């Protein structure tokens, strides 16, 4: 019986080992099958999300380029934003497939975004101002803009800065928040595309003011760049300390304003001189009292 019992026990031991091995193989195959399906699904999700993000990016870019009213700087922005959003959701879906708690991940990303936003307040203010500039378009590339008394020629618009140059050449980089927070005077855009020239010409008190007015009116009538509507206004403006001041106010096309202004200054001066009018210099009358005269009067 002992030998029989030993035989039964020896036969049972291999059976248990075989059962354990088969169980482990089944568990491993189930695990590999499940993990493999998740891996294949994750790869398929990544490929699909990447393709969809690229397709949406190209579709939105093409649509934005056809919109003539939208600034070219904005053409690539919406497509890139959509592409990034799609890729983020794709990554979250892949992590969720592997059992990662995406809720905590989203909360962590939100907290990180808040911290970054607080750290980059100045930069974000420039971005916000840049968006406002690109939406409302107070100026465009090539315009002459006056900011705080200084004139700049705009060369490029951006989300952080605007690039320009001074009329005499130096390059200028202007933060958008500094531009949007002040009064912007666009010298390249005027009402009805016309601009006024205001000059004042002085003649001596001994000159005939009617003669001077006739000369200046004739100069205005002979200049083809001066508009008749609005009509020129040439009249005596004030009586100064040393001269009679005549207002010379005319309108011209915006594009002709600068050259016309310079030409008129020379032409009016020469016309007044040829007509016998003199342009007076500041004068002061000085009375000198001698000490002996003062004592005699005393």
Residues 163 and 237 reside in one and the same domain: no
- pLDDT grade, residue 13 (50/70/90)? low
Residues 181 and 196 reside in one and the same domain: no
Residue 127 counted as domain residue: no
Q: Which residues contact 256 (CB under 8 A, 6 or more apart)?
A: 225
Report the CATH number that the domain containing residue 143 is assigned in CATH.
2.30.30.60
Residue 284 counted as domain residue: no
Q: What is the pLDDT of residue 103?
A: 67
Residue 122 counted as domain residue: no
Residues 180 and 200 reside in one and the same domain: no
Residues 143 and 221 reside in one and the same domain: no
Residues 33 and 61 reside in one and the same domain: yes
Q: What is the pLDDT of residue 121?
A: 58
For the chain, give the mean pLDDT.
80
Sign of CA dihedral 58, 59, 60, 61: positive
Sign of CA dihedral 53, 57, 63, 67: positive
DSSP letter for each residue of 125-173: HHHHHHHHHHHH-S--TT-EEEETTEEEEEEE--SSEEEEE-TTS-EEE
pLDDT at residue 122 is higher than 80: no
Residue 217 counted as domain residue: yes
Domain span at residue 235 reads 192-274
Q: What is the pLDDT of residues 132-156, one digit of tens each?
A: 888 888 998 899 999 988 999 999 8
Domain count, the chain: 3
- pLDDT grade, residue 228 (50/70/90)? very high
Global pTM? 0.59
Report the CATH number that the domain containing residue 219 is assigned in CATH.
3.30.70.100
């Amino acid at each position: 019986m002992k030998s029989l019992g030993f035989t039964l026990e020896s036969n049972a031991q291999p059976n248990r080992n075989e059962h354990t091995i088969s169980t482990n193989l089944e568990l491993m195959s189930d695990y590999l099958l499940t993990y493999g399906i998740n891996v294949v699904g994750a790869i398929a999700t990544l490929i699909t999300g990447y393709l969809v993000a690229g397709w949406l990016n190209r579709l939105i870019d093409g649509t934005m380029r056809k919109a003539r009213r939208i600034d070219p700087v904005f053409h690539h922005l919406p497509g890139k934003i959509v592409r990034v959003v799609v890729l983020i959701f794709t990554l979250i879906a892949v992590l969720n497939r592997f059992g990662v708690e995406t809720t905590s991940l989203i909360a962590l990303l939100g907290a990180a975004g808040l911290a970054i936003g607080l750290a980059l307040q100045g930069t974000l203010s420039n971005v916000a101002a840049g968006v406002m500039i690109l939406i409302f378009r107070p100026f465009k590339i090539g315009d002459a803009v006056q900011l705080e008394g200084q004139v700049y020629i705009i060369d490029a618009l951006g989300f952080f800065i605007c690039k320009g140059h001074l009329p005499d050449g130096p390059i200028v980089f202007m933060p958008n928040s500094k531009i949007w927070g002040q009064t912007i005077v666009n010298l390249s855009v005027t009402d009805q595309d016309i601009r006024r020239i205001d000059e004042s010409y002085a003649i001596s008190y001994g000159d005939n003011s009617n003669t001077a007015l006739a000369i200046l009116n004739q100069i205005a009538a002979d200049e083809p760049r001066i508009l008749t509507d609005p009509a020129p206004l040439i009249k005596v403006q004030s009586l100064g300390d040393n001269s009679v001041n005549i207002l010379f106010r005319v309108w011209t096309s915006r594009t002709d304003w600068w050259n016309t202004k310079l030409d008129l200054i020379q032409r009016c001066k020469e016309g007044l001189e040829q007509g016998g009018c003199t342009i007076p210099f500041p004068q002061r009358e000085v009375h000198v009292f001698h000490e002996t005269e003062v004592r005699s009067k005393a």
